[in-house]
Amino acid sequence: MLFRQLEYFVAVAREKHFARAADACFVSQPALSIAVAKLERELNVTLINRGHNFEGLTPEGERLVVWAKRILAEHDAFKAEVAVMRSGITGTLRLGTGPTVSTTTALPVAAFCAMHPLARVKVCSRLSSAELVRQLREFELDAAIAHFGPEELEGLEVVPLYEEQYVLLVSGEHLVPAGPTITWAEAAQLPLALLTPDMRFRQFINDAFETCGTVAAPQVETDSVASLCAYVGTGSWASVVPHTWLDSMPVTGPTRAVRLVAPDTRAQISVAIHAATPGSVAARAFRNVVAGLSLDEAFAATRPPVAVACGTAVDPYERQPLAVSGAD
């Protein structure tokens, strides 16, 4: 059995099409088909149901694809380990995030790249939490940044990164009068633009509204983080966003952020890698870098004033007035 045969078989299982799998592996379709057929003969089982086209994996094929992914991941990890011994980490870290934490990903990535300047990072930032966990467990990602529920921790090693808080983003004062805070119940009465229900962040929002006895009924739903800011910028909608956005996407002009209270909702954002050992060298290195960061302190230190009234900026997290340059 050759690693190449396992790679071809995993590609067929992933693409569900022989020609696409061959293209992904940069080989001809006959060469791929011959390799997979040889693998079946060596194992003395049928792995793929074949008709005129790919018709799915057999039960034996379903089991082998799990083992094949693990074997290939360990093979890649071994090669990376040898390379690290020669010249340091030079491979690619495959990092997944949800859309709402994508704005904070730059901080741990910058720390990782500073520590390992020859490494590269590929970030996928529009994945749902369920998809992040699936790709981690199937070795399609090396690490992920998200909120991970207790039911998702099996087989993963998780390191806390920061605690996420929530603010209402609004433009002008015709929807929300100037002030440092707003309750979730009050926010539920506004015309809202929110992320789609499949996003974990949206589920937190729904839970917060339910806690205060109300339900969010957004007029606009989107799977794009950038779109939320655009909708708010028109002045027609408000939105709920993480407080960490204010560090990388500072509010300008009439747009302002107001702290959401009653309840004071928070969520732990963490980095997860596969718990298998030895595992990905890049993943372990990223975990080690993250473990030394204090992003809660970083966000507290750099958080800008977000609510303005009568020439005085108010930090809604501290509820202390802050001087505004140029205020009368």
Assigned domain for 34 exists: yes
152 shares its domain with 180: no
On the CB side of 1, CA atoms within 13 Å amount to 14
306 within some domain: no
Q: How many domains does the chain have?
A: 3
Are 59 and 151 found together in one domain? no
Any residues with CB less than 8 A from the CB of 141 and at least 6 apart, and which? 94, 95, 96, 124, 132, 135
Residues 147 and 263 in one domain: no
| 327 inside domain | no
Please check whether residue 278 lies inside any domain of the structure. Answer: yes
Domain containing residue 103: 84-162+268-301
Q: Do 168 and 257 fall within a single domain? A: yes
Same domain, 281 and 150: yes
Q: What is the CATH number of the domain that holds 63?
A: 1.10.10.10
Q: Give Cβ neighbours of residue 47 (< 8 Å, ≥ 6 apart).
A: 9, 36, 39, 40, 57, 58, 60, 61, 64
Q: What is the pTM of this model?
A: 0.66
* CB contact set of 21 (below 8 Å; sequence gap of 6+): 8, 11, 12, 14, 15, 32
Clarify whether residues 287 and 153 are in a common domain: yes
Q: Are residues 13 and 136 in the same domain?
A: no
pLDDT of 319 reads 33
**What's residue 56's pLDDT?**
87
Residue 158 lies in a domain: yes
Closest of 73, 68, 70 to residue 91, by C-alpha: 73
113/205 same-domain check: no
**105 DSSP 8-state letter:** T
Asked if 53 and 179 sit in the same domain, the reply is no
**CA angle at 174 for the pair 164 and 183, rounded to the nearest 5°:** 35
Torsion of CA 319, 320, 326, 328, to 10 degrees: 90
226 in a structural domain: yes
pLDDT at 97: 92
Distance CA 260, CA 193 (A): 16
Is 322 part of a structural domain of the chain?
A: no
Pairing of strands 166-171, 239-242: antiparallel
Among candidate residues 180, 213, 208, the one with its CA nearest the CA of residue 194? 208
Q: Do residues 99 and 119 both lie within one domain?
A: yes
Domain annotation covers residue 33: yes
pLDDT of residue 297: 79
Q: Any idea what the CATH number is for the domain that residue 225 is in?
A: 3.40.190.290
45 lies in the same domain as 135: no
Walk along the chain (328 residues) and give the pLDDT tens digit of each residue: 678 889 899 999 999 988 899 999 999 989 998 999 999 888 989 998 887 678 889 998 998 988 888 888 777 777 766 665 455 677 899 999 988 888 889 999 999 999 888 899 999 987 888 889 999 988 899 999 999 888 888 889 999 999 988 999 999 888 988 888 999 999 999 999 998 888 888 888 999 999 989 998 999 999 887 788 889 989 999 999 988 888 777 666 788 889 999 888 888 999 999 988 767 888 989 999 999 888 887 777 544 444 433 333 444 343 333 222 333 3
Domain of residue 144, CATH code: 3.40.190.10
Q: Are 109 and 121 in contact (CB under 8 A)?
A: yes
Which residues, including other chains, have CB under 8 Å from residue 4's CB and lie 6 or more apart? 35
Q: Are residues 114 and 228 in the same domain?
A: no
